[in-house]
Amino acid sequence: MTQTLLLDASDVRTYASMPAVIDAVESAFAAYHRGNAQMPAKSYIDLPKYNGDFRSMPAYLNTGEWDAAGLKWVNSHPENQQEAGLPTVLGTMIYSDPETAYPLAIMDGRTLTMLRTGAAAAVATDYAAKQSASSLGLVGAGAQAYTQLTAIANVRPIEEVVVSDVDSARTEAFASEFESEFDVVPGSISEAATCDILSTTTPVESPIVERTALNDEIHINAMGADAPGKNELDGDILSEATIIVDDYEQAIHSGEINVPLSDGGLTRADIDMAVGALVAGDEFISRTTTDISVFDSTGLAIQDVAAARAVYETAAESADTTGFDMYQLTEN
């Protein structure tokens, strides 16, 4: 009888092979570009009484080799930490069999989100960064920085890492975590920007990365902007760079490009391509003609579903996982 796996944060980390998650997210981008995915707009339930909201993110995709469906139920409650000792953002992923609709797994959505976001950056980096890239700058040393490094190191031979954060304790903790694998150096934003690849993961509402600081052949993963009014990169960077988005409409509304688009620094015509077009082979980046590239990542439900499938496929094969009969059905 089909059963539902219940996978907590530790389980998701255990069964998530980063290479498998990267491959799944890469396939999801291509499926979306080819029109083989359904991803309704994110819906919101505002909760002003609690200064928070709920968001539902459903998706279905068919890569040609496999298909998958699911729903991420996520929130933002900024007062959670102070009022309840809980994270601002929680998340639950329901991963379902598209053929029967049976829920195959219910899993921690927070850990899954970090994994798929890192994987998305890795996919963009693989297609846009120079092949010889060996240094990674990180602006922000929070949880997402960890998966940025882990994922990107799967697609480029990263040796040196420069990490910058306003909280020195976080940069020290990050360096300690990875010191046996990489040459990790705490530094300024300008020092991080001299690397071959730069990932920014901060919630700032005004630019903190200046064009004058950049390595002229850099690829940037702009991961922090997730709402109107937020942006991390100086407008001169975006006006010069090849701009790659995960989704046009989401990027325009709440991605890194939302501010320069609203103030006239950019137009829609300045958006060069979607990452799915790169994966599908319909667009290409030549490093002989393009020096700076920027991936504007907003986060898509198809990424969650693809990552959930990667986790589930491994977990379902493990002798250490047990499921439960959600509907208490009796097999005839």
Active-site residues, by number, are: 72
Buried b (16+ CB within 10 A) or exposed e, 220-246: bbbbbbbeeebbbbbbebbebbbbbbb
314: helix, coil or strand?
A: helix
Gap between the Cα atoms of 196 and 217, Å rounded:
7
Residues pairing with 37 in the sheet: 61
Residue 115, phi-psi category: left (phi > 0), alpha (psi -120 to 50), beta (remainder): alpha
Q: Residues 139, 203: contact at Cβ < 8 Å?
A: no
Matching residue, tokens 């599908």? 280
Q: Which amino acid is at 135?
A: S
Q: What is the largest CA-CA distance in the chain?
A: 69
Matching residue, tokens 């882990």? 150
Q: What DSSP designation does 295 have? A: E
